[in-house]
Structure 1
Amino acid sequence: MNKHQFKLPILFIFFLVALLTLSSCGSNQPTAKDRVEDYVKAWQKQDFSKMYALLSKQSQKSIRKADFVSRYKRIYEAIEAGKLKTSIKENTKKEGTVQLKATLNTVAGPVKFSQSVQLKEEKRRDKQNWYINWNPSLILPKMTTGSRIRVDTLASTRGEIVDRNGEPLAVNGTAARIDLVPGRMGSDSDKAATIKKLTGLLGVSKEQIDQALAASWVKADSLVPITTVDQAKTKLIKEATELPGVVKTEVSSRVYPDKNASAHLTGYVGKMTAELLKEHPNEGYNANSVIGKTGLELLFEKQLRQHDGAAIILLDPTGAAAGTIAKKNPVNGKNIQLTIDRNVQDAMYAQLKKDAGTGVAIDPRNGDILGLVSTPSYNPNDFVLGISSSEYQKLSNDKEQPLRNRFTAASAPGSTFKPLTAAIALTHKAINPDTQIAISGSKWQNNSSWGDYYVTRVNHDPKVNLQTALFKSDNIYFAQTALKIGGSAFASDVKKFGFGESLPIDYPMRKSTISNDGKLDSDSLLANSGYGQGQVSVNPLHLSLIYSAFVNDGSMIKPRLIKTNDPPTFWKKNVMSAGIAQLLNKDLIQVIDNPSGTAHDAKINGLTLAGKTGTPEFKKKQGESGRENGWFVAYNTDNPKLMVTMIVENTQKHGGSHYVTPKVKKVFERVLKK
């Protein structure tokens, strides 16, 4: 045989193999696994129309496209279907069978699928491909043709806020919903009269009531909600429910029993808004959620917020429960117990409620914050229940700014700053506390470069030592003392007391500052700063912490707002020596005990107090009359338990700090003199 006779068949075989390979590549038909992956991609996007297109002809005969799409959409909206994760594995032993494992996030937690998906090869539009034999268990596991689902909300409760003794500050209670029953409202004229009276009583417009009554679901015996009011408004509720067709329904509500007295402290909750939902994505909130809007309700939202549970219940064709597809248990919010003493809080509010001002109370030995009050105030219950736009505008436009939180602010402390100046001067040995300094007259300037500006004082003592300067509040003495310390040393030392720093507390407070740029470069600014004017700005809680050094041997206590059994700690240790602290403590007693002391009217028989007054002035030009604020800081010295810092604004016509001292005295009498 010729050797060339073998070449042709071998070449022919190679040609056939290549041709078959090319033919196979050209067809590029998806596998069953590929088709399930296409179905899953559409499923993840909840593209139900595309999913339907991938069903076999037999499956499409069992359910119309419109029914398929609407059923998926209705159920997935109800269960709040979210992310879908899948694992797909082809069964190599059985062609057209794919093992699908999937996890679908829902309102009731993850729903897990583990199914063997059957596919069928069908020819459509001259193309052979795989199509899915679908059944309802691919909507949710265990579902059949006639079954349905129900989603039950498993209610949880928001954490409550209580004071150190367990007294309620923000709790879960009830409110009074005012409803109308159309069939009981009487004739048209009676109905019109009732609506007119309700608009006046409830602050709701006639249009709102008419719209509520005109809703499509309303029947003669329906309860039609109009508004919700505080249960404590018994007179209003009685007047409303005496009208024909008006009834009261108790509903769950957040309640603030201390009302205006603790409004700025607790803040309030409100309904979730579209804007807030955008700010809190993927955090479990929905349009019906309640969220902290201000104060502690906002600051401790993560701890206080509740997480409702949910259950997806499988129903048989009769509507009876046939099983649970998924369930997520509710989680209640955590309760918070504060160091606040509601008795102290209410005592300060009682003294401040007719004025614009603030009160801060602490236990100077352990740092417990006993009270934080801001006035004028508002009732947080009104905000929870839905304050009317007219009432909100009234609060917003009030010149006294009742919505403003004053205990978080910082302002000029006036003479209450003088003990700090004294502490720094004594530390630097810039002054001798016993030395009598000669001061002539009631005004003084360092040199002629000050022009028309002078430091003035009320007293006219020709010679003044530290103690006299403190209890008589001599501005000139402390202006001269500041100059003796020097601008650089003064600006540096106040930082040791926490100036320029955030206070170590969860409630955000304004930082205290010695000047706008943190420096004291000019003599006049330095002199003014020595007695708490110039550009000095102090937060009232910070001032209280500075004064705590006078009873803690020179260390400033660290504040705390959450009740704890942990031992107290110091925020700033050894800001002054124990000797200086004890010396200034004795001098501050004279502010109250000495008949010439600026706070002698705060003296309480049987209870020794130490403290300091201050009357910062806000004037455009020296010599002119202007706005003044009254300050007073006081604490009891024998086994110190209470320190109160109180500020009242615009006291220029009421005697400055002398308007405040009796108020603080009454707080001590109510709290400690029982």
Structure 2
Amino acid sequence: MKRKKFEWTGRLILIIFSLILVLSLIFFITKQTHKNTTEQLLTEYMNYINKHEYEKMYKMISKEHSSNISMEEFVKRNKNIYEGLETKDLSIKILNEKSNGKEISYLTSFNTLAGEVKFQNEVNFIKEKFEYKLVWKDSIIFPQLESTDKVRIDTVEAERGQILDRNGKVLAGKGVASSVGLVPGKIQDKENTIIKLAELLEVDIDVIKNKLSAEWVKDDSFVPIKTIPKVSELELMKINPDENLVKLKENQEELLSIPGVMINDIEVRDYPLKEAASHLVGYIQKVTAEDLEENKGKGYDSNSVIGRSGIESLYEDKLKGQNGCMIYIEDEFGNRKDIIVDKPVQNGEDIQLTIDAELQKVLYEQFKDDKSCSVAMNQYTGEVLALVSTPSFNSNDFVMGMSDKLWKSLNEDERQPLYNRFRQVWCPGSTFKPVTAVIGLDTGILDPVEDYGNEGLSWQKDSSWGDYYVTTLHETEPATLENAMIYSDNIYFAKVALKLGENNLTSFLEKLGFNKEIPFDIKMSISQYSNTEGIKSEIQLADSGYGQGQILINPLHLASIYSAFSNDGNIIEPTLLYNPNYNPNIWMPEVIQKESIHTVLETMKKVISEPTATGYGLHREEYTLAGKTGTAEIKLSKEDATGTELGWMAVFTTDPNIENPILLISMVEDVKNIGGSGYVVQKDKRVLDQYLR
């Protein structure tokens, strides 16, 4: 009996213990599940903000305990705030719980267009049927936010940095233009007004109609149609005012005679040098949808501008600056209540170039009617003083809003005014002969006083060349290096190239930077000595010696090589950013021996100083100049009579102590029958007359 009682008691204890264990487990699981559910719900809700899935957020809230807000109101409120602030990367960190997990304290952080926002907040959950719902309030968005408040954004536009020349003259900066627009309520005859305005402004009729039909337009709105240059009354008062300004003035007077038309002054990006520096400075335009996509996170918005070419594009990140932005809460009375985040404006940096604006203008004026390019540098420092390509375009036209007519004319002009010639490679002709000479001397193959023989005006190595002959314009007697340089004897340098051989010539050209990128801010085309892997024939080798064959060189690269004549064989690295304490960088140190440099330099001085030499037109009594002329034939074959010629002039001052040292290289296309390189010599003379004066 006792045994049975003991067994029953043991079983009872076991049952009670098991029951307690099960109840404890149920309690623990229930508590844990409850905890995980509310945390997970909050995390899920916040993740929907990152995905802009506001309808899903609405399904998670308790309608009854959230002021019975409708889905439409909820979505609109959240969407306008979160997307208006460009909210992204929102994350939360749970801090603690209260009331069995129904109230959760958490830390929120996310990025906005004004910077990072962080704050601590609380949210409540309520159980409805078998699931928990979030009790939504406006304060979940921001703790200070009430239902009658608004979230505002104030933006301060950053000023774009200026582009300046070495003397502080503006190449790109603030300017004033005229905005021509319509006030709808003052228009008398809408159809005829639009037709007349389209004709005077060279704007499509549909463009004007679309602008007038925009949602924001009211009767008293000023609807801008086109930006045009501002006419300066002072300029018109000159004795001989610019004809274009006079036409602009007449055009504006006709515009103002149309009822409803207004003209207001606006601030624009201005390029004072106009066509003279457009290929160098470039221009800006309004950002496109593609620009915004490609530059996400860089502070651009639909009202931003972006550099499209030249320096404007190259230094866009520095020039543009960062807009200031304040996000704040405004109460129902329009008062600023709380500042959420305030990012101060950062104006763009000014970019100062080594360019000399006056030299840039002088070069442009001399060559503006030619297909040409010019490079000028201080050969001792590598500072680039001018980069000019002609014909050109006016950067201001892109800022104002270029008409279809002007855009078409620029693109259809056979002279290619949009084509940047100083970035390309060209056949250098005889300006390459000093390079061949220093290679010959440096390798010990060329004896400068050796007579290579007077071959007349044409020559071939032997009959294996068939009917191909090297021709020259002047007989040379005796055919020494000095005379060959003075009279630009093609035959002499063809013989030197053959004596050098392909390996000596090409390996040295590699040392001089051929087939390599030029270390310069603006990307230039790479110079080459062959279209293939090497020089493939004796004829090509011979032609290469006097700058023909398949030799192509960038003008800035040629200028850099010529800098060796002023720096004992060191090739100076070109630079474009101005620094008053700049120390020159050597691109290729001691690449040419001093003895070779000095020997060739003396012959190049005589190219300018000898009355019968090809460059004598540049001779000056007060300065010693050195240089080389060049004429390159561009034709399909020797028999091609339709080919053209490139005219070159490379000239530099030889005294390092003068105030304004300069190395100038100019190239002009189509000089055949207008004087060849002599045409370029005369133009460069006028440039040097002004620069060295």
Regarding TM over 0.5, the answer is yes
1:577 pairs with one of 555, 574, 593: 593
Letter in 2 for 1:132: L
Letter in 2 for 1:143: L
Distance 1:620 1:47 in 2: 66
Distance 2:217 2:62 in 1: 46
Q: Contact 1:37–1:88 at 8 Å: present in 2 too?
A: no
Match of 1:381, SS state, is: helix
Residue 90 in structure 1 maps to residue 83 in structure 2: no
Partner of 1:537: 552
Give the drift of 1:90.
Answer: 3.0
Distance 1:123 1:26 in 2: 20
1:469 pairs with one of 481, 484, 498: 484
2:607 pairs with one of 585, 591, 599: 591
Distance 1:33 1:183 in 2: 58
Give the drift of 1:50.
Answer: 2.3
Residue 636 in structure 1 maps to residue 653 in structure 2: yes
Residue 116 in structure 1 maps to residue 122 in structure 2: yes
Distance 1:418 1:21 in 2: 99
Q: Contact 1:33–1:90 at 8 Å: present in 2 too?
A: no
Q: Contact 2:63–2:69 at 8 Å: present in 1 too?
A: no
Partner of 2:309: 294
Q: Contact 1:56–1:134 at 8 Å: present in 2 too?
A: yes
Q: Contact 1:551–1:582 at 8 Å: present in 2 too?
A: no
Give the drift of 1:185.
Answer: 4.0
Offset from partner CA, 1:328-361 (integer Å, 9 cap, x none): 1111111110000001101110111001110100
1:133 pairs with one of 124, 132, 135: 135
Give the drift of 1:217.
Answer: 4.1
Distance 1:653 1:377 in 2: 24
| More displaced 10-residue stretch of structure 1: 504-513 or 220-229 | 220-229
Shift of the 168–524 alpha-carbon distance from structure 1 to 2, 3 Å rule, reads same
Partner of 1:275: 290
Match of 1:52, SS state, is: helix
Q: Contact 1:262–1:373 at 8 Å: present in 2 too?
A: yes
| More displaced 10-residue stretch of structure 1: 348-357 or 34-43 | 34-43
Identify unmatched segments of 5+ residues in structure 2: 232-244
Give the drift of 1:576.
Answer: 1.6
Shift of the 607–390 alpha-carbon distance from structure 1 to 2, 3 Å rule, reads same
Match of 1:396, SS state, is: helix
Mapping of 1:446-485 within 5 angstroms?
446-485=461-500
Partner of 1:613: 629
Partner of 1:153: 155
Partner of 2:85: 79
Partner of 1:177: 179
Letter in 1 for 2:61: L
Partner of 2:680: 660
Offset from partner CA, 1:243-272 (integer Å, 9 cap, x none): 433221122211111110000101111111
Give the drift of 1:133.
Answer: 2.7
Match of 1:221, SS state, is: coil
Shift of the 45–219 alpha-carbon distance from structure 1 to 2, 3 Å rule, reads closer
Give the drift of 1:92.
Answer: 5.6
Letter in 2 for 1:123: E
Residue 12 in structure 1 maps to residue 32 in structure 2: no
Residue 50 in structure 1 maps to residue 66 in structure 2: no
Mapping of 1:220-619 within 5 angstroms?
220-231=219-230, 234-235=248-249, 236-564=251-579, 565-619=581-635
Give the drift of 1:172.
Answer: 2.4
Letter in 2 for 1:130: Y
Letter in 2 for 1:108: A
Distance 2:103 2:578 in 1: 62
| More displaced 10-residue stretch of structure 1: 194-203 or 350-359 | 194-203
Q: Contact 1:59–1:135 at 8 Å: present in 2 too?
A: no
Distance 1:550 1:435 in 2: 22
Q: Contact 1:112–1:141 at 8 Å: present in 2 too?
A: no
Distance 2:28 2:99 in 1: 24
Distance 1:624 1:49 in 2: 75
Shift of the 194–44 alpha-carbon distance from structure 1 to 2, 3 Å rule, reads closer
Give the drift of 1:40.
Answer: 2.0
Q: Contact 1:488–1:520 at 8 Å: present in 2 too?
A: no
Give the drift of 1:192.
Answer: 5.2
Give the drift of 1:409.
Answer: 0.4
Match of 1:116, SS state, is: strand
Match of 1:660, SS state, is: helix
Give the drift of 1:394.
Answer: 1.8
Shift of the 414–304 alpha-carbon distance from structure 1 to 2, 3 Å rule, reads same
Partner of 1:61: 67
Give the drift of 1:572.
Answer: 1.1
Offset from partner CA, 1:128-161 (integer Å, 9 cap, x none): x333232211122311121112211112111110
Give the drift of 1:475.
Answer: 0.3
Shift of the 278–57 alpha-carbon distance from structure 1 to 2, 3 Å rule, reads closer
Offset from partner CA, 1:452-475 (integer Å, 9 cap, x none): 111111112343110110110000
Q: Contact 1:557–1:570 at 8 Å: present in 2 too?
A: yes
| More displaced 10-residue stretch of structure 1: 28-37 or 492-501 | 28-37
Identify unmatched segments of 5+ residues in structure 1: none
TM-score (norm: length of structure 2) = 0.92
Q: Contact 1:119–1:132 at 8 Å: present in 2 too?
A: yes
Q: Contact 2:275–2:392 at 8 Å: present in 1 too?
A: yes
Give the drift of 1:590.
Answer: 1.2
Give the drift of 1:300.
Answer: 0.8
Aligned structure 1 segments of 4 or more residues deviating by more than 4 angstroms: 17-30, 92-95, 191-194
Distance 1:501 1:414 in 2: 21
> How much identity, in percent, do the aligned residues show?
39
Q: What number of residue pairs does the alignment pair up?
A: 666
Partner of 2:40: 34
TM-score (norm: length of structure 1) = 0.94
Match of 2:342, SS state, is: strand
Offset from partner CA, 1:477-524 (integer Å, 9 cap, x none): 000001111110111011111111111111101111111235234211
Partner of 2:235: none
Residue 627 in structure 1 maps to residue 626 in structure 2: no
Offset from partner CA, 1:528-563 (integer Å, 9 cap, x none): 110000110100011011111111111111111000
Letter in 2 for 1:619: K
Distance 1:389 1:253 in 2: 21
Shift of the 644–71 alpha-carbon distance from structure 1 to 2, 3 Å rule, reads same
Distance 1:297 1:415 in 2: 35
Q: Contact 2:299–2:323 at 8 Å: present in 1 too?
A: no
Match of 2:88, SS state, is: coil
Partner of 1:207: 206
Letter in 2 for 1:638: D
Letter in 1 for 2:67: K
Match of 1:178, SS state, is: strand
Q: Contact 1:488–1:519 at 8 Å: present in 2 too?
A: no
Distance 1:24 1:91 in 2: 18
Give the drift of 1:612.
Answer: 0.6
Distance 1:624 1:506 in 2: 39
Shift of the 226–100 alpha-carbon distance from structure 1 to 2, 3 Å rule, reads same
Letter in 1 for 2:481: L
Letter in 1 for 2:199: G
Shift of the 253–141 alpha-carbon distance from structure 1 to 2, 3 Å rule, reads farther
